[in-house]
Structure formats: structure tokens, C-alpha cells
Structure 1
Amino acid sequence: MKRLYLGLLLGGLASLAQAFDLQRLSEQLARPEVIHGQFIQEKHLRALPQPLISKGHFVLAQKHGLLWLLRTPLQQDYRITARGIARRDGDTWQMLPNKSEGAEQNRLFMAVLQGDSSGLQRDFELSLTGTAQQWTLKLVPRSVLLKQIFTRIDIEGGELVRRIELLETQGDSTVLRMQDSTSAQPLSEAEQHDFAE
């Protein structure tokens, strides 16, 4: 009986030591090599009564970057990598000018989706609540540049990121819902080609 009690006690202590923290979240989000999914983006502007809604799908490849394939209200493909943002123009990709604000948002977005908490901790105060199956991460900007853009960023997820809300200083906000995300399929030949260009 004593041995059983001791076993249960040690098991309980081990599970406490394994508490869900930023390190575990980073490991969890960095695990999949490729993630495919759908997205719905709602842009809430103070000047408009209804949000602007766009939809499409995305491909996040750990070693390559992000394909952001907008399908409604218009079709436009973007590729976000360490080199910057490119937009598809016919059969080729055109690099977009690297404005500091856009580049900062781009770097941030990649860090969020890939679970790079050390990258995020440079620029934000991070506060994580929940479990591996259902967590919320709040980011409050530290850097002067990011404080000019965002008041806060809220990220929710489970095995993968499900929802990102960007609250901007002027009162606008953006909500991104990642749906039907799966890490089960590898990059297609077309996707590999898109990243290779």
C-alpha cells in the first residue's frame, strides 16, 4: 500500500514537473515539418461597420516558409520566407519592397506559427495559460516599433495554432482563424516549386 501511494505521489510530482510552459509550446508547434490548412481573415476597421473578410489556404513549411494563398474576395498568392515577401505575378514571384513595419509583421507571423518563443520573447512579454490541448498565449509588445503598431496579440491553439488576434494601437484589429489544419501531408511538387523559385 505504501509503495502504491509513493508511486502515485511521484507520478503526480512528475506530471507537475511536466507542466505546460513556453518551452513545451515551442516544441509542440515546431514538431510538424509541413502544415496545410484553410484560413479566414477578418479585418475590423474603425471606419467600417462590417469587417473585411478574406479566405484562402496556407502551407507552412518549417524549412522553407509560408505560402498564403488568398482565394476570396480576390485571388492573390504570397510567399513569406526569411528573404521577405513575394507575390505571384503570372508564373513568377516578385519580391515586394521590404518596409520595416511589414517586415516586422512578417517576422512576427512566422515566429508565431512556427512556435519560436525565443524570437517572440525578444520583442514581447509572453503570458501562456492552458494545456497542450487548449492554450492561450498573450503577447504585449516591448519594442518601440511594435508598441506603435500593436497593443496586444492573442494566440489560441491546441496541437497547432487555431486563432490569432492582432489588436492595433489605432483601434483596428485583425482576427485570423486557421481551420482544418493538418500536418499529415508533405509538400506537393507544385508547392516545392513555389518555395524553390
Structure 2
Amino acid sequence: MITLLRSLLCMALMAAAGLAQAFGLDDLSKQLGEPAVIKGPFIQEKHLRALPQPLVSKGEFVLARDHGLLWLLQTPLKQDYRLDAQGIARRDPNGWQTLPGNSAGSQQNRLFFAVLQGDSSGLQRDFDLSLQGDAQHWQLRLTPRSLLLKQVFKQIDIDGGRFVERIQLLETQGDSTVLRMPSSSSAGSLNDTERRDFAQ
């Protein structure tokens, strides 16, 4: 009877240990990097100290693990962006045009890309990362390491579950940006239009 109780106790402790196992950065990277394609709507709010109301923009995004990120702005104006290994491109009537590497917002766009893709190793080069929660509901805080980033960002807070759901960038000057992706979904592959956009 004592042997049975010990066995049951050991099994219970093993199960509890499994449940208590910490959800770490490697787990988060694997979870976010697993889907081949993630897409959905986004709502971005830019809070400026000089304005009483935030500037709101909306659109759709497509994140393809093997290709890059399509950022399709729909309001207040229509403008398409593509972020991939070659850099950032903007679509105009003549097709995709690569933007200069030091263009305004390029660093922020690359950061979004790394976050959405779950590239924790890339983020760790520039930030101290603090993760809380579990696979269903987690919070990740990024605190800048480099002097250059410290001049721009105070901290970046990211919340999510299966996918990234909310990103808040707090800037040192008091402005902030909140990006919400309320209903993202995964897909096994790109559709024909998305494939053409990445191929051009």
C-alpha cells in the first residue's frame, strides 16, 4: 500500500511539475514561428502629446514565414508596404519601390516584423526581454539596451496568445503607439495575389 501511495505521489508530482513548467522565450518563439502564414486586420493608434485624440489607421497584414510581411493600409489612406530580407518597399503605380534603409519608421517596421515572427534571438540583440504568462495568454516586455534605442523607446509591451494580439510602444518623449490585431488567423500557404506581391 505504501509503495502504491509513493508511486501515486511521484506521478502527481511529475504531473504538477509539467503543469508548472515555465513558458519561456524559446516556447514563445516556437509558437509564433510555427504557422506558415498569419493574416488578419490591424488597428494602429498613434498617441501624440500635442493632439487630444489619437491618429487611427486600419488595414490588413499578411505575415509569411518564408517571405516577409505585407502591411496593407486601408484608412485614412490606401498604402501598401512590404518588409522582407531586402528591406522595406512601398507600392506605387509603377510597382514596388524599395525605401532607403534609414527612412523614417524603418526600424519600427523591422521591430514589428521580429515581434510578429517570434524572433526572440533577434530581439535579444537590442532589448532585455521579460516574459510572463503561459501559451494561452502571455506578456512580453522589451527594454532597450543600446543608447540609440533608449533615445527612441522607453519600453515595448506585447500581449498575445496563439498569435500576437497587441503591441504598445512607449517613446521616451511621451508619445506612444498601440497596435492591435484582434482576429488573426493562420493559413497553410499564400493565395495567388499575396504570392505575386512577394515575388515582385
TM-score normalised by the shorter chain: which range applies?
over 0.9
Report the counterpart of residue 46 of structure 2 in structure 1.
43
Report the counterpart of residue 12 of structure 1 in structure 2.
16
Matched, 1:32 2:35: yes
Q: CA deviation at 1:161?
A: 0.1
Q: How does 1:1-197 map to 2 (within 5 A)?
A: 1-2=4-5, 3-16=7-20, 18-90=21-93, 92-99=95-102, 102-184=105-187, 186-197=189-200
Q: Which moved more, 1:145-154 or 1:100-109?
A: 100-109
Q: Within 2, Cα distance between the matches of 1:36 and 1:106?
A: 16
TM-superposition CA deviations, 1:129-169 (whole Å, max 9, x none): 11110010000000111111100000000000000001111
Partner-residue secondary structure (3-state), 2:111:
helix
Q: Within 1, Cα distance between the matches of 2:178 and 2:95?
A: 30
Q: CA deviation at 1:15?
A: 3.0
Q: CA deviation at 1:184?
A: 3.1
The AA in structure 2 aligned to 1:110 is: F
Gaps of 5+ in 2: none
Q: Within 2, Cα distance between the matches of 1:104 and 1:177?
A: 19
Partner-residue secondary structure (3-state), 1:151:
strand
Q: Within 2, Cα distance between the matches of 1:30 and 1:88?
A: 27
The AA in structure 1 aligned to 2:117 is: Q
Q: CA deviation at 1:118?
A: 0.8
When the two structures are superposed, what TM-score results if normalisation uses the length of structure 1?
A: 0.95
Q: Within 1, Cα distance between the matches of 2:150 and 2:104?
A: 11
Q: CA deviation at 1:69?
A: 0.4
Does the Cα contact within 8 Å between 1:36 and 1:185 map onto a contact in 2?
Answer: no
Q: CA deviation at 1:108?
A: 1.6
Cα distance change on mapping 1:91 and 1:182 into 2, 3 Å: farther
Q: Within 2, Cα distance between the matches of 1:82 and 1:165?
A: 25
The AA in structure 2 aligned to 1:96 is: L
Q: Which moved more, 1:182-191 or 1:124-133?
A: 182-191
Q: Within 2, Cα distance between the matches of 1:91 and 1:8?
A: 65
Q: CA deviation at 1:101?
A: 6.1
Q: Within 2, Cα distance between the matches of 1:123 and 1:114?
A: 16
Identical amino acids, percent of aligned pairs: 65
Gaps of 5+ in 1: none
Does the Cα contact within 8 Å between 2:35 and 2:188 map onto a contact in 1?
Answer: no
**Which of 1 and 2 has greater Rg?**
2
